[in-house]
Amino acid sequence: MSAKIKDVARVAGVSVTSVSRVINGGEHISAKLEKKVRRAIEELNYSPSLIAKSLKRNKTNLIGVIIPDITSNFQASILSYIEDTAGKKGYNLLISNIVEDTDKVVKYLNIYQEMRVDGIILMHGKMNEDIRTFLERTTIPVVTQADLGIPLTSVHIDDYQGAYEATSYLVNNGHRRIAMITGDLRDISAGKHRLEGFLAACQHYQIEVDSSMIKYGDYKINTGYRLMNELLDEGSPVQAVFAASDEMAVGAINCLHDRGLSVPGDVSVIGFDGSQIADIIKPALTTIRQPIKQMGQVTVELLLDLIESVNDTIDAGKFKRVVLPHHLHVGSSCRKSDSDRERN
């Protein structure tokens, strides 16, 4: 139905080789020939098939992205920078929203493989055997935004350290009964490291933390609300809560408000991520800010490096771990004590 390169060649009265050359540029061609071809393209409203081109060139300019939850503002923001950076380099994004369901990952990875994407970006932090097997076997360049315990190029912050700092901040402002609303146990990267950072800080400051003070969530607002409720119902009174995501922190704050407790008057709340939601909520959320823009950009840049060096035997098997800086952003959701002698 639509015109092919052959049709253009016929109408222009030249060979398909020449048509291909004027479209792709590079080689020298006479102005006269070019004009004829351009006219024919215009006349036929010709649009070259990237599918045929991809098959021939063995390159699709496609990047597959696995994202845990696109409705998370933090993740959507990273994705927007990934899209922007990739788009400027001529790459398009194939996106799979796994809704935190790890079982879907392998299914999509296989589709990416069959689509012959040039590279894959993994934003999730959970693992299973199928994923591991796929990643070990594939020859497609991969960059992950988590520490999956596999020799893979990755870019992320130091989650352990971030959690340690968040907890220390609470301690240094006079809190002793600190609860944590953490991530999924199966999240072996951010989730695991943030919990470990919390526990390490508690140990350092000789703060007792029993299991009733730790609730496992999934980074979502509603979960933060529900777990805060459990915390208030079950345990001894808490002075502060460290949530492993801003969204759970917001859920916790809303729960506290609904139960007539003031933040930070009665309970301090600190979040993690530094997404937009932290700024719009009242009180403004104190949180660990991740460098969102940089994470998106660096991820794509590293992936493109891998894609372009895929034939260099020199770089074969090399991978990088990039740890980006985070920082504590102080809002108004934590009570401040005057005696914070040990800040930072």
Q: Contacts with DNA in 10-39 (CB under 7 A)? A: 14-18, 20-21, 23-24, 27-30, 32-33
Of the chain, the end-to-end C-alpha distance in Å amounts to: 67
Which residues here bind a copy of itself, judged by CB under 8 A?
1-2, 45, 47-52, 54-55, 60, 69-71, 73, 76-77, 79-80, 83-84, 87, 92-97, 99, 110-111, 113-116, 137, 139, 221, 250-251, 254, 257, 276-277, 280-282
**Smallest distance, Å, CB 282 to a copy of itself?**
6
Instruction: Answer with the entry of a copy of itself, DNA, none that 325 interacts with (C-beta below 5 to 8 A by kind).
Output: none
Q: Which helix (H) or strand (E) holds 154?
A: strand 153-157
Determine the size of the site formed for DNA (CB under 7 A).
28
**Smallest distance, Å, CB 308 to a copy of itself?**
16
**Smallest distance, Å, CB 25 to DNA?**
10
Distance CA 301, CA 14 (A): 40
Peptide bond into 237 cis (omega under 30): no
Quick one: 19 or 255, whose CB is closer to DNA?
Answer: 19
- 128 lies in the binding site for DNA (CB under 7 A): no
**Smallest distance, Å, CB 2 to DNA?**
8
Quick one: 35 or 57, whose CB is closer to a copy of itself?
Answer: 57
Q: Which helix (H) or strand (E) holds 67?
A: strand 62-67
Q: Give strand pairing partners of 321.
A: 154
Would you give the binding string for DNA spanning residues 44-73, x where CB under 7 A is met? Answer: --xxxx--xx-xxxx---------------
**Smallest distance, Å, CB 303 to DNA?**
22
Burial of 13 from C-beta contacts in 10 A (0-12 / 13-18 / 19+): exposed
Quick one: 35 or 116, whose CB is closer to a copy of itself?
Answer: 116
E-state strands within 158-306: 178-182, 214-216, 240-243, 268-273, 286-289
**Smallest distance, Å, CB 297 to a copy of itself?**
15
Peptide bond into 48 cis (omega under 30): no
- Of 239, 247, 241, 244, the C-alpha closest to 228 is 241
Instruction: Answer with the entry of a copy of itself, DNA, none that 73 interacts with (C-beta below 5 to 8 A by kind).
Output: a copy of itself
- Of 23, 22, 20, the C-alpha closest to 33 is 22
Distance CA 125, CA 58 (A): 30
- Of 239, 186, 179, the C-alpha closest to 215 is 179
Question: Interface residues with DNA (CB under 7 A)?
Answer: 4-6, 14-18, 20-21, 23-24, 27-30, 32-33, 46-49, 52-53, 55-58
